[in-house]
Amino acid sequence: MDKIAFTDKQNEFIRTLKQDKLKRINVLEGSVRSGKTWISLIAWAVWVAMRPKDYLYMMCAKSLKTLYRNCLLPLQGLVGENNFKFSLSKKEGVLFGRKIMLEGANDQRSEGKIRGITLGGAYCDELTLFPEDFFAMLLSRLSEPGAKLIATTNPDVPTHWLLKEYLKNENLTDDLFRMFFHIDDNTTLDKGYVESLKKEYTGVYYDRFILGKWVVANGAIYKVFSDSPTAFYTKDIPHFDYINIGLDFGGNGSQHALVCSGITHDMRRLYALKTERIPAADMTPQTLYRRVFDFCIEIKEKYGTVSALYADSTEQTLIAGLRQALRPIEIIVKNALKREINDRIRATTMLMGGGRFFMLSAECQTLIDAFQGAVWDDKVVGKEVRLDDGTSDIDTLDAFEYSFERYIPQLIRSEK
């Protein structure tokens, strides 16, 4: 470990560990790519190695997949496979001879997974994404002598349970250690990369993930677009590796929406190529299939191919009929992945902020209007919710996101 080069901020945290100044709850918070996850894993490994072998330990994240990507593989790379072996299927591992339970905390029912166990220590990744009940139960399980929790997190809303009930709880002063990491603290990062990352995050995401502030979202969601929409207009058509169509089915007074997007061969740029809204009222399924068929024909004639059409998975009967209708022109119809809406918004704003999103304005007026009309719902407290009361075109935004959401991991940089 002594041969590893630490940043000043990371050295500060390691000194806290060496001087035995960690407390029962230890939270590293702040910017993305600030070096907090990497150093927390090193500290976790060192601390566990000094603890009794007969204690049980736990590592957890929102999901086992996230835990694997963010923590388990990096930890194994740091200490070596001989010192850390794990099995996701068994949900357990062994770190320096100590048994480690692996768990996901993806919903309110997750706390039932850890009832009754006794832990000597725990590690939590992206703590703001945990259900409060799970975290409270986890703390109650840390009952072995000297048990500690080490966690990382990015900020969230100022009313988040983690901030209100724990980080700002004066009654926990003796049990809480809190350290802030800023992206500029990570001096190992290339300066050009840092500047690019700062441009990609805009609005509330810049405040949280770059500045590390606990702030509430308000106003326009796509402000960077609304401030200068023409900056995203283009007439140049590059080579696309993927040309996809997203379809959102309308209902209750809304409209069906179609959006075609293209992703460049380097998986770096996203283009909106064509959009259309179709009134849902008094439209039979057959009429809808005809309109979708005609839309797809236009795309195929202009670009030569359509990789897939991704449709709102809540309407399986309509999707079944659509598959039959589009079979003559060999277009595959798949269920939309339907990632978390805020993950889709975040990806879109990152691409906009980084100068990696473009559109054919003459073909995409409905999407232009949708971007400019999208706002956060100020009546919802405690989380970000895109306003969906009929005053803005959510259908087109959904269709747009369905068209590229499967490629979000490739389109955006990892920000851990």
- Same domain for 228 and 162, yes or no, is no
Task: Name the band, by pLDDT with cuts 50, 70 and 90, for residue 162.
Answer: very high
Residue whose structure tokens are 């399986």:
316
CA 332 – CA 288 distance, rounded (Å): 17
CATH of the domain at 48: 3.40.50.300
In this prediction, residue 2 carries a pLDDT of 45
Q: Which tens digit of pLDDT belongs to each residue from 67-94?
A: 999 999 999 999 999 999 999 999 999 9
Does residue 217 belong to any structural domain of this protein?
no
- Same domain for 273 and 195, yes or no, is no
Please calculate the CA angle 199-369-240 and round it to the nearest 5 degrees: 60
- Same domain for 258 and 325, yes or no, is yes
Among 11-25, 51-65, 96-110, 140-154, the minimum mean pLDDT is found in 96-110
Q: Are 389 and 380 in contact (CB under 8 A)?
A: no
pLDDT at 6 over 80: yes
Residue whose structure tokens are 């988040």:
160
Does residue 187 belong to any structural domain of this protein?
yes
Q: Give the domain extent around 87.
A: 8-201
Identity of the amino acid at 377? D
Q: Which tens digit of pLDDT belongs to each residue from 282-317?
A: 789 999 999 999 999 999 999 999 999 999 999 999
Q: Which tens digit of pLDDT belongs to each residue from 238-270?
A: 999 999 999 999 876 679 999 999 999 989 999
Identity of the amino acid at 36? K
pLDDT at 8 over 50: yes
Report CA 189 to chain centroid distance, whole Å.
21
In this structure, what are the phi and psi dihedrals at residue 178, rounded to the nearest 5 degrees?
Answer: -130, 125
Strands 98-104 and 92-95 turn out to be antiparallel
Q: Which tens digit of pLDDT belongs to each residue from 26-71?
A: 999 999 999 999 999 999 999 999 999 999 999 999 999 999 999 9
- Same domain for 345 and 388, yes or no, is yes
The whole-model pTM stands at: 0.84
- Same domain for 149 and 286, yes or no, is no
- Same domain for 379 and 255, yes or no, is yes
Does residue 356 belong to any structural domain of this protein?
yes
Average pLDDT, the chain: 94
Last residue of a domain, one of 134, 168, 201: 201
- Same domain for 239 and 381, yes or no, is yes
Comparing C-alpha atoms, which of 141, 152, 411, 45 is closest to residue 264?
Answer: 411
Task: Name the band, by pLDDT with cuts 50, 70 and 90, for residue 412.
Answer: confident
| N-term to C-term CA, the chain | 21
CA 41 – CA 37 distance, rounded (Å): 6
Percent of the chain with pLDDT over 90: 89
Task: Name the band, by pLDDT with cuts 50, 70 and 90, for residue 413.
Answer: low
Q: How many other C-beta atoms can be found within 10 angstroms of the C-beta atom of residue 347?
A: 22
Does residue 310 belong to any structural domain of this protein?
yes
Does residue 328 belong to any structural domain of this protein?
yes
In this prediction, residue 3 carries a pLDDT of 59
| Number of domains comprising the chain | 2
- Same domain for 384 and 247, yes or no, is yes
Q: Are 55 and 119 in contact (CB under 8 A)?
A: yes
Strands 121-124 and 148-153 turn out to be parallel
Does residue 30 belong to any structural domain of this protein?
yes
- Same domain for 52 and 110, yes or no, is yes
- Same domain for 171 and 34, yes or no, is yes
In this prediction, residue 252 carries a pLDDT of 63
In this prediction, residue 111 carries a pLDDT of 87
In this prediction, residue 148 carries a pLDDT of 98
Task: Name the band, by pLDDT with cuts 50, 70 and 90, for residue 414.
Answer: very low
In this prediction, residue 331 carries a pLDDT of 97
